[in-house]
């Protein structure tokens, strides 16, 4: 899709309640607002992790854009993909323990999807930033120690790579380094430029 001409007063909105995405957006030095999207995040029958992440990212952007049609809205979603099975946010210690036990010694693909929507201009763009994460063969004691220290219960896959969670890993493979944290900034900048926003 060709770039859309910029509108001088068009606001930028991050359609997410994630504090991690808010912190990442702050790196770009652009003024933006945060609006919570009202979207059911339950997977559909047979939906792959990548398709789920893409659908939810677009749904979040569209939901906020309907309330703010003049704004450029960013939606994003991340689903951990273990052998084709989606892993969401654990929510508590027991589920996080089970997730990390299932991932130890495996390569998990974190499917981080992005959507940028502006209803007034008609712009709608999407992208996907898969990140391959190789987990070490963790012991039960290592998993318990990590979870007690960091408590990453609001993170898909139960590990924060930007924190102590990096110690659980053997490798990270990605062409968009912030994708694993929740928002692929290289792709975000690209789509924002296409939507008509000047990004330094």
Could you list the active site residues?
77
What φ, ψ does residue 118 adopt, rounded to 5°?
A: -140, 110
Cβ-count burial of 171 within 10 angstroms (0-12 exposed, 13-18 middle, 19+ buried)?
exposed
Distances (CA, A) of 82 to 14, 86, 100, 111, 198: 28, 6, 11, 10, 37
Distances (CA, A) of 157 to 50, 98, 110, 149: 15, 10, 8, 16
Separation of alpha carbons 130 and 148, rounded Å: 28
Cβ-count burial of 51 within 10 angstroms (0-12 exposed, 13-18 middle, 19+ buried)?
middle
Q: Any idea which residue has 């859309």 for tokens?
A: 4
| Residues in the chain, total | 200
Report which of 68, 62, 3, 60 is spatially closest to residue 33, judged by C-alpha positions.
68
Separation of alpha carbons 72 and 123, rounded Å: 9
């Amino acid at each position: 899709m060709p770039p859309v001409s910029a509108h001088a007063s068009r606001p930028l909105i991050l359609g997410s309640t994630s504090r991690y995405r808010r912190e990442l957006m702050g790196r770009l030095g652009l003024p933006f607002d945060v609006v919570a999207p009202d979207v059911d995040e339950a997977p559909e029958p047979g939906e792959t992790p990548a398709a789920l992440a893409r659908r939810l990212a677009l749904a979040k952007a569209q939901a906020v854009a309907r309330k703010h049609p003049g704004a450029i809205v960013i939606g994003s979603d991340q689903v951990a993909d273990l052998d084709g099975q989606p892993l969401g946010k654990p929510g508590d210690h027991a589920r996080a323990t089970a997730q990390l036990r299932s991932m130890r010694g495996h390569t998990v693909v974190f499917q981080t999807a992005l959507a940028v929507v502006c209803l007034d201009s008609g712009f709608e763009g999407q992208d996907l930033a898969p990140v391959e994460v190789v987990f070490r063969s963790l012991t039960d004691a290592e998993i318990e120690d990590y979870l007690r220290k960091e408590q990453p219960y609001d993170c898909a896959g139960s590990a924060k790579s930007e924190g102590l969670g990096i110690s659980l890993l053997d490798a990270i493979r990605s062409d968009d380094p912030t994708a694993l944290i929740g928002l692929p900034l290289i792709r975000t900048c690209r789509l924002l430029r296409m939507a008509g926003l000047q990004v330094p």
